[in-house]
Each structure stands twice: as C-alpha cells, then as structure tokens.
Amino acid sequence: MAYRRTPAVQARLDAQREAVLQAAAGLLAERGYGGCSMAAVADRARIATGSLYQHFANKAELSVELFRRVVNREIAAVNEAVARREDPQERIAAVVETFAARALRAPRLAYALLVEPADAVVDAERLVFRRAFRDVIAAQITAAVAVGRLPRQDPDLTAAALVGAVAEALAGPLAAAHTPVSGDAPPEVVPALVSFTLRALGGRDDSDA
C-alpha cells in the first residue's frame, strides 16, 4: 500500500516549502542567482540542506520556481497600474513606468530577473517573462489603434520591440546601481523611457508641448 501523507504532514511540508521560497527570494534580491546556492537557501530558511532537496531536486529547479514567483508579482503590479488608467496610451505608459520604477528601486533583483547569467532553464523563463509584458502592452496598443489614438501597426511586433528596448536601456543602470561603488540610477531614466515609448508608438508625448 502506497504511503499517504496525513493532512498535518502535508501542511508542514507546504509551510516548509513556502519558507524555502521566501528565503530564496530574499537571497535573490540581496545577492542574485550567484548567492542562491542550495546551502545558502537552506541556511536562510533554517532547515537542513537535505530537507531542501525534498522540495527541489537542484538549484535549477528552485531557480525556475523562484523566478516564476517573483515575475508573477511584477506582472500583477503592472496590471494594477494599468487598471488605474483609462486612456490606452496612458495604460501603455503605465506599464513602462511601473516596470522601470520598480526595477530601479530593487536593482539587484531586477538585474537577476533580466540579465544576470543563470541556468538555461532560467533563460527560457525570461522569454516567458518578456512575452507576458509584451502581451500587456500589445493589448493596449490594439485598443488605442481601434479608437484612433495611435496609427495602425502590428501590436505584437511593436510591443516586443518596446519590451526589448526598455530591458536593454535598463541593463546599464541596473548593473551600475547594484554595485557597492555606485550611487542611485539617474532620476530621469523612468520619464525618458516613458517619453521614448510614446514616441515609438507614434503617439503624442506631452513633453513636446
């Protein structure tokens, strides 16, 4: 007869797994993927390293689960910002503004999510991450075109180009901001990215007035 975990045992394991993911998220924000060794995560979670392997077979598996958790939080924050705006162009600007501002407030974490060297499985998840943001922007481009606020264009292509451009533009400031010798990223980065986005879409940027 196969062993079945009791509800109490399953609850304990679920709580331990949650503690592991929270510990890993903290280390990722502080040290990046390089600091998220299985031993370091186990130590932060206050469990034996062997117990950690009951939940994740290796660092790559843990990293994927961690990446998905953190990314879902970022996407939720962007969707909340979009929901607070009515105009489609403002919603697109809200995506870029929210994403960039949150990235610059937590540069070590954002650097890990976007560009830090990691396992191939994490690189694959990064593509999913970018597509999720692309889809949010593409939906708003479609809406803006439909009401005549933007010229006709391929929403998916434009959105993908914007996501790539914003990520590339942030790479330098993020790399600099999370090093011990640097200061904060220049404050004009976020508004400059918003302005670039509106110009790239073919819409009107209020700074032109």
- Give dist(CA 50, CA 156) in Å, integer: 45
Indicate the SS3 state at residue 53.
Answer: coil
Quote the mean pLDDT of the chain: 89
Indicate the SS3 state at residue 43.
Answer: helix
**Residue 204: pLDDT band with limits 50, 70, 90:** low
Q: Which residues contact 70 (CB under 8 A, 6 or more apart)?
A: 25, 28, 109, 113
pLDDT tens for 27-58 read 999 999 989 999 999 999 999 999 999 999 99
Q: Please name the residue ranges forming H helices in the chain.
A: 7-31, 38-45, 49-52, 59-83, 88-105, 107-114, 120-146, 155-177, 189-201
Q: Which residues contact 60 (CB under 8 A, 6 or more apart)?
A: 119, 121, 122
Give which of 38, 85, 90 is closest to 60, Cα–Cα: 38
Buried b (16+ CB within 10 A) or exposed e, 27-51: bbbeebbebbebebbbebbebeeee
- Give residue 167's pLDDT: 94
pLDDT tens for 105-155 read 999 999 999 989 888 999 999 999 999 999 999 999 999 999 999 999 999
